Amino acid sequence: MKIFTGGCAWVLALAMPTAQAINQEIRAQFQPDPSQPGKNLFVNQTPNSGYCVAFPGKCADGKMFSIELPVRYTANRSLVPGDGISLQVPADWRRLTITNQDTQETESVEVRITGIGSTYVLSDRVQELTGISNAAQAHDKLWRSETGWLYAPTPCVGSGLAGYSDTTYRFFWHTPVEASCTKNTVFRIPSMYFDKLDFSYELKTPNPLSMSSGLYTGSITYTMGPGADFHMGYMMFPDDSQLTLDFVLDVQHTLKVDLPPGGNKVSLEPEGGWAPWLDSGRKPRRIFRDQPFFLSASSRFKVMMLCSSQGGPYCNLGSPLGDTTRVNVSMTLPAGIDGPGNGPVNRIPLNVNNWMGPFQPGIYVDRKPGTLHFELEPSAIDFLLRPGKNDRLRGNITIIWDSDV
Q: Per-residue pLDDT tens for 359-401? A: 999 889 999 999 999 999 888 888 888 766 677 888 999 999 9
In whole angstroms, give the CA distance from residue 131 to residue 153.
24
Least confident residue range of 17-21, 86-90, 255-259, 397-401: 17-21
Find out whether 71 and 22 touch, Cβ atoms under 8 Å: yes
The answer for residues whose C-beta is within 8 angstroms of residue 285's C-beta and 6 or more apart is 270, 271, 378, 381
User: Class of the 255-402 domain?
Assistant: mainly beta
Q: Name the E strands within 140-241.
A: 157-164, 168-174, 181-184, 192-204, 214-223, 236-238
Q: State the DSSP H helix or E strand holding residue 56, giving kind and residue range, or none if neither.
A: helix 56-61
Tell me which of 179 and 13 has the higher pLDDT: 179
Q: How many CB atoms lie within 10 A of CB 369?
A: 13
Q: Which residues pair with 356 in a beta bridge?
A: 303
Least confident residue range of 240-249, 318-327, 373-382: 318-327
Q: What pLDDT sits at residue 251?
A: 93
Q: What single letter denotes the amino acid at residue 216?
A: Y
Q: What pLDDT sits at residue 8?
A: 33
Q: At residue 18, does pLDDT exceed 70?
A: no
Mean pLDDT computed over every residue of the chain: 88
In whole angstroms, give the CA distance from residue 360 to residue 301.
7
Q: Which residues pair with 118 in a beta bridge?
A: 171
Q: At residue 6, does pLDDT exceed 50?
A: no
Q: What is the mean pLDDT of residues 74-88?
A: 96
In whole angstroms, give the CA distance from residue 117 to residue 111.
18
Q: At residue 74, does pLDDT exceed 90?
A: yes
Q: What is the mean pLDDT of residues 51-72?
A: 84
Q: What is the pLDDT of residues 274-289, one digit of tens each?
A: 888 877 778 888 999 9
22-30 and 242-251: which strand pairing? parallel
Q: What pLDDT sits at residue 12?
A: 31
Q: State the DSSP H helix or E strand holding residue 380, giving kind and residue range, or none if neither.
A: helix 378-384
Distance from the Cα of residue 36 to its chain's centroid: 14
Tell me which of 362 and 94 has the higher pLDDT: 94
In whole angstroms, give the CA distance from residue 96 to residue 113.
14
Q: DSSP letter at 321?
A: T
Find out whether 17 and 196 touch, Cβ atoms under 8 Å: yes
pLDDT band at 226; cut points 50, 70, 90: very high
What percentage of the chain carries pLDDT values higher than 70? 94
Most confident segment among 117-131, 204-218, 305-319: 117-131
Q: DSSP letter at 394?
A: B
pLDDT band at 271; cut points 50, 70, 90: confident
Q: What is the CA radius of gyration of the chain?
A: 34
Q: State the DSSP H helix or E strand holding residue 278, giving kind and residue range, or none if neither.
A: helix 275-280
What percentage of the chain carries pLDDT values higher than 90? 66
Q: Which residues pair with 249 in a beta bridge?
A: 28, 216
Q: What is the mean pLDDT of residues 145-157?
A: 90
pLDDT band at 404; cut points 50, 70, 90: low
Tell me which of 380 and 334 has the higher pLDDT: 334
Q: What pLDDT sits at residue 381?
A: 86
Q: What pLDDT sits at residue 388?
A: 66
**Between the CA of residue 353 and those of 212, 266, 315, what are the distances in Å?**
23, 21, 10
Give residue limits of the domains in the chain.
2-251, 255-402
Of 390, 265, 393, the closest CA to residue 326 belongs to 393
Q: What pLDDT sits at residue 10?
A: 33
Find out whether 214 and 324 touch, Cβ atoms under 8 Å: no
